[in-house]
Structure 1
Amino acid sequence: MSNIFSTLSKVTLGVAISVAAISCNQEGKSTGATTSKDSTSANTSSTKVEKIVYINSDSLSQKYEYFKDIRSKLEAKVKKAQTDLQAKSQAFQREVAEYQQKAPNLSAAERQATEEKLARKQDELSRLDQNASSSIQQDESAEFNNVYNKITEFLKKHASDNGYTLVLTYSKSNPTVLYADSKLEITNEVVKQLNEEYKKEKK
């Protein structure tokens, strides 16, 4: 059975954070040689700051209600599939044990027929397991892709509204960022607004 947390990285972009700030200060001074008047000229400082921020994707996955609901939904599906398969497996094991007890008293033809029947049931159990895993992986991929799309679409508008040049992510599970100034983090405001939108959608 696949681990439902295997695709959580879909909402973890794992891009290294970088802060680009360009500042240029130039100052010039000239003094007249033949007059008592000093004239000073100074170039005004010009500073251009790129507005780069980041989101802690670990916190986002823990606090975003839509993401939490999707995760709970997938966990419930995994648990149900495991329970169903376990019940069928236990029933099959009982059949095998029953056959082993009766085998000495059965004819060769009866033993062959029973063993073929048990082999078919074992193959069926294997197919059920594979189908359940495949179905869960497909649902997992689709659901987390929806989460990813919802977050990225929100961030496009949020970045435009706030003049952010670049929105990056940080995650302990994907430590491409060694240090990030906490003043650049916008996780809480993003989570708050995402949850407000999700709350309206649920209604």
Structure 2
Amino acid sequence: MKLVKLTLGLAVATATLAACNQNGEKAAVVSETGATQRAEAGVPDIVYVNSDSLLANYEYFKEVRTRLQGKAEAKEKSLRSQAESFQKEVQRFQQQAANMTVQQASATEQRLMQKQQQLQALQQNSGNELMTEESEEMKKIYDQVESYLKKLSEDKGYKMVLTYQRGNSAILYSDSTRDITSEVVQGLNQEYETVKADTAKAEEATKKK
């Protein structure tokens, strides 16, 4: 028995980043005067982020992926152990069935069928729990990336932030000066470190009470 494999990965998160581009109302809007000044200064209005690099270096995403993979492996190990134990019970029944009365054999068979159904339900529930948690975590990542890109666009005057993934992108070519991936990764990681530090302080303060 194997758990449903995690779908958390670059494809999911790439779709997350792409969603940032589809909502035009959320793009940073700047005045015509500001646009002219940026043009004169050589600052682009449209930039892009390499989603592969972003996710490979975003610490929060990496921690979420590691944590969910650990949970999936632990659940699969537990289910495998229970499945092996159940299989041994079935084998014992098969070996001893000839010496059982009809009533004993029927009762044992019924019990094993119920146990099998319980194991199947447990497997399904475990997979659903992981998928639900993964979906919730990806929403958090989406919200954080979107929030940061919105602030960055307001600060820099970007009108649009595109997402790029090699082999799966509408952008066939762009000047490298429009690639803000490193800046976004650095900013996201700085924000995450601040959140982690604040959370740690809050937990420490709670323990002292």
Q: How does the TM-score come out when normalised to structure 2?
A: 0.77
CA drift of 1:106 comes to: 0.9
Distance across 2 between alignment mates of 1:9 and 1:122: 39
Given that 2:14 and 2:51 are in contact with CA atoms closer than 8 Å, whether structure 1 keeps it comes out as: no
Decide which structure has greater strand share: 1
User: Map of 1:132-151 to 2, 5 A cutoff?
Assistant: 132-151=126-145
Q: For residues 63 and 75 of structure 1, do their structure 2 counterparts lie closer, same or farther at Cα, with a shift above 3 Å needed?
A: same
Is 1:84 aligned to 2:78, yes or no?
A: yes
Match of residue 194 from structure 2: 200
Match of residue 4 from structure 1: 6
Given that 2:17 and 2:145 are in contact with CA atoms closer than 8 Å, whether structure 1 keeps it comes out as: no
Match of residue 58 from structure 1: 52
Match of residue 206 from structure 2: none
Higher-Rg structure is 1
Number of residue equivalences: 173
2:180 to 166, 181, 186: 186
CA drift of 1:50 comes to: 6.0
- The unaligned stretches of length 5 or more in structure 1 are 17-46
CA RMSD of aligned residues (A): 2.0
Any idea what the Cα deviations from partners look like across 1:41-77, whole Å, max 9, x if unmatched? xxxxxx7886100000111110000110111111111
Decide which structure has greater helix share: 2
2:164 to 170, 180, 187: 170
Given that 2:164 and 2:171 are in contact with CA atoms closer than 8 Å, whether structure 1 keeps it comes out as: yes
What SS does the corresponding residue of 2:7 show, helix, strand or coil? helix
- The unaligned stretches of length 5 or more in structure 2 are 23-38, 198-209
Given that 2:44 and 2:178 are in contact with CA atoms closer than 8 Å, whether structure 1 keeps it comes out as: no
User: Map of 1:6-85 to 2, 5 A cutoff?
Assistant: 6=8, 7-13=12-18, 51-85=45-79
Q: Which 10-residue stretch deviates more, 149-158 or 173-182?
A: 173-182
Give identity over the alignment, percent.
Answer: 38
Distance across 1 between alignment mates of 2:71 and 2:13: 17
